């Protein structure tokens, strides 16, 4: 079904440890507007799309969202590499360390665990696609906030790329909504 290429969609080479940024960035892994929620939302909704065009689009974007999770995870790993327990505690990651050591766990930046309540499905293709468009806009906004919080070009580059992909996904969902609405009127 999928062909995995063992490389990231965008190269990530963060040279400076930044635990504060890693703490914030985790929200795009497991937060309410993050990549995990998007990937699962789209894979779940694909089954109620009225045709293969809709199913294919949701599958394509969902699998790309999983690739984005891989990028976010890589960024977090590089930002926290070689961090001491004391350093993790100093930025509020002591609770995370106590539960998960340096392992990734899907939460938002406040430590609230991922939940399927972060995404919705109605079974109505138009309603679901509007939900998806909103999700992409929320993710774009979070990426813009994260970009504003960093001064490191090694962090900003991948975030800009991810932000742009949210815009592309929004536009692809919008195109499909327009097609379905036009077909509905015909």
Quick: pLDDT tens for 64-101: 999 999 999 999 999 999 999 999 999 999 999 999 99
State the average pLDDT for the chain: 95
> Does the pLDDT value for residue 50 go beyond 80?
yes
Task: Answer whether residue 159 is part of any domain.
Answer: yes
Task: Answer whether residue 10 is part of any domain.
Answer: no
pLDDT of residue 26: 96
pLDDT of residue 25: 97
Task: Answer whether residue 11 is part of any domain.
Answer: no
83: helix, coil or strand? Answer: coil
Task: Answer whether residue 100 is part of any domain.
Answer: yes
The domain in which residue 70 lies consists of 19-185
Task: Answer whether residue 14 is part of any domain.
Answer: no
- Rounded percentage of the chain residues whose pLDDT exceeds 90: 94
- Rounded percentage of the chain residues whose pLDDT exceeds 70: 99
Q: How many domains does the chain have?
A: 1
- For residue 40, the tally of other CB atoms under 10 A from its CB is 17
Task: Answer whether residue 41 is part of any domain.
Answer: yes
Handedness of CA 156, 134, 120, 55 (dihedral sign): negative
pLDDT bin (cut points 50, 70, 90) of residue 1 is low
pLDDT of residue 65: 97
pLDDT bin (cut points 50, 70, 90) of residue 184 is confident
pLDDT bin (cut points 50, 70, 90) of residue 2 is low
Task: Answer whether residue 6 is part of any domain.
Answer: no
Q: How many residues does the chain have?
A: 186
- Residue 107's φ and ψ, nearest 5 degrees, are -140, 175
Q: What is the pTM of this model?
A: 0.94
CATH number for the domain spanning 69: value is 1.20.1260.10
pLDDT of residue 125: 96
């Amino acid at each position: 079904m999928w062909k995995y290429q063992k490389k990231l969609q965008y190269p990530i080479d963060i040279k400076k440890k930044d635990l504060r940024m890693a703490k914030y960035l985790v929200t795009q892994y497991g937060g309410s507007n993050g990549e995990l929620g998007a990937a699962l939302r789209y894979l779940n909704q694909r089954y109620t799309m009225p045709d293969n065009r809709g199913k294919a689009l949701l599958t394509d974007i969902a699998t790309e969202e999983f690739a984005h999770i891989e990028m976010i995870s890589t960024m977090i790993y590089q930002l926290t590499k070689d961090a001491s327990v004391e350093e993790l505690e100093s930025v509020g990651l002591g609770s995370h360390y106590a539960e998960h050591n340096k392992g990734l766990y899907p939460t938002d930046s406040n430590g609230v665990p991922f939940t399927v309540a972060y995404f919705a499905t109605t079974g109505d293709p138009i309603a679901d696609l509007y939900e998806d468009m909103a999700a992409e806009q929320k993710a774009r906004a979070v990426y813009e906030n994260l970009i504003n919080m960093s001064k490191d070009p090694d962090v900003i580059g991948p975030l800009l790329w991810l932000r742009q992909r949210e815009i592309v996904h929004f536009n692809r969902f919008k195109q499909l909504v327009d097609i379905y609405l036009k077909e509905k009127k015909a």
